[in-house]
Amino acid sequence: MLKIETFVVNMIQENCYIVSDETHETVIIDCGAFYDNDKERIKAYIEKNKLVPVHSIFTHGHFDHIIGSKFLFDTYGIKPEISAKDTDLYYDCEKQLNDFVGLNINLQLPNINKIIDDKYKIKFGTHTLSVISTPGHTPGGVSFYCKEENVLFSGDSLFYCSVGRTDLPGGDGNVLIEMLKQNILTLPEETTVFPGHGCATSIGFEKENNPYISTL
């Protein structure tokens, strides 16, 4: 059974997920840890539960989701895994920080370890996460789905009663809605959705109540 711990981090209040099972092998999703307190909370949780991080994976390349990749590499030796279509965003993290929050910082993020697409499987312990293509918020946006546990990590594609913004460079509202319709709303209604910001929801609830997709 999966154990999912949520850490709300950085100035954008992004959700970083620590996902583990009974083997203690662990996947860290969208580590946006920026402040020292963000990093210390994550480290303390991993140490307390004797977890072994084996994957650092990202739903997309916006700075608030990837800025902790250096912390994960320096602390646990795991390099980032991200879609090829968002590698430019990943390596442009310093400019994003400057443009969005006015910070001029030399980050030196680690090189990308693996390029992920919808054929890629993320294996840890006794579990597997499938990669689902959900572009629109960014060109290379993906979601991570665990079929055996009915759990989806949607990044910034689907939120509680909302969807990701598409007015940023590389965004496309029509693509996002079409990908949600094809790839996400077809999942079982009981699937729990853990988004990149805000509270968890479910596929069934969003199909009934989300104003952006309930009429599809």
Span 144-194, pLDDT tens digits = 999 999 999 999 999 999 999 999 999 999 999 999 999 999 999 999 999
List of E strands, 10-97: 14-20, 25-29, 52-57, 80-83
How do residues 7-52 score in pLDDT, each as one tens digit?
999 999 999 999 999 999 999 999 999 999 999 999 999 999 999 9
Treating both helix axes as pointing N-terminal to C-terminal, what angle do 36-48 and 69-76 enclose, rounded to 10 degrees?
40
Q: What's this model's pTM, rounded to 2 decimal places? A: 0.97
Give CATH superfamily name and number for 3-209: Ribonuclease Z/Hydroxyacylglutathione hydrolase-like (3.60.15.10)
Domain ranges of the chain: 3-209
